[in-house]
Amino acid sequence: VWKLRDFVVTQAKPVNSGEQVEVTYEDLSGRSHNDTLESRWLRAFAPYVGKPLNSAASRGATVKGTGSLMEPLLNNRRPWRSDVEMP
């Protein structure tokens, strides 16, 4: 995991007909690093990981009534104990 405060985004551009975004970072020593991200993933997670740069930035609509896909499993889970019988 990178320490993100040591990097600055110097360029971001769409690639592959907008299916991906190529981001160029520069570290404190001036070296450049490229990263290619899937646009659909960024769009899906933007409300949760995006950070507005100023108060005038508009906030998109939020999705309400969502939950964890694991919730039904968590409600019915049974822990394994030392007496578990393996098939």
Higher pLDDT, 2 or 8: 8
The DSSP letter of residue 10 is: E
pLDDT in tens, 43-55: 777 666 555 555 5
Quick one: pLDDT at residue 24? 92
- Give the three-class secondary structure for 84: coil
| Distance, CA of 24 to CA of 15 (rounded, Å) | 13
pTM of the model: 0.47
Structure token pair of residue 16: 């592959």
| Distance, CA of 46 to CA of 59 (rounded, Å) | 10
